[in-house]
């Protein structure tokens, strides 16, 4: 969580309508989180600030599942084509 900022996870249509908040709060570590939808349909997140961790995000609830600690930060999860 970054002081002064509220983390919000939600959905909306591409035209900007239908905004729905799914979860709020300190969901994804210290901030600087990057997310990307994997070609396997899983939504992944990685913290670009300490703690450097990789996790999956449940698209229905916003809850995370730890995958691995990373030894260095990175901030681009999106690579390659996506079939969605």
CA atoms within 13 A on the CB side of 3: 0
Q: Greater confidence, 28 or 21?
A: 21
- Average pLDDT score, the chain: 75
Joined tokens for residue 84: 């969605």
pLDDT digits 0-9 by tens, 25-60: 665 555 567 788 888 889 888 877 777 888 888 888
Reduced to 3 states (helix: H, G, I; strand: E, B; else coil), residue 45 is strand
Q: What is the pTM of this model?
A: 0.67
């Amino acid at each position: 969580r970054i002081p002064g900022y509220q983390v919000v996870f939600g959905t909306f249509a591409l035209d900007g309508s239908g905004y729905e908040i799914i979860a709020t709060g300190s969901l994804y570590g210290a901030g600087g989180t990057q997310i990307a939808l994997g070609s396997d349909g899983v939504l992944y997140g990685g913290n670009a600030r300490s703690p450097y961790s990789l996790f999956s995000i449940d698209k229905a609830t916003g809850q995370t599942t730890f995958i691995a600690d990373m030894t260095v930060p990175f901030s681009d999860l999106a690579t390659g084509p996506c079939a969605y």
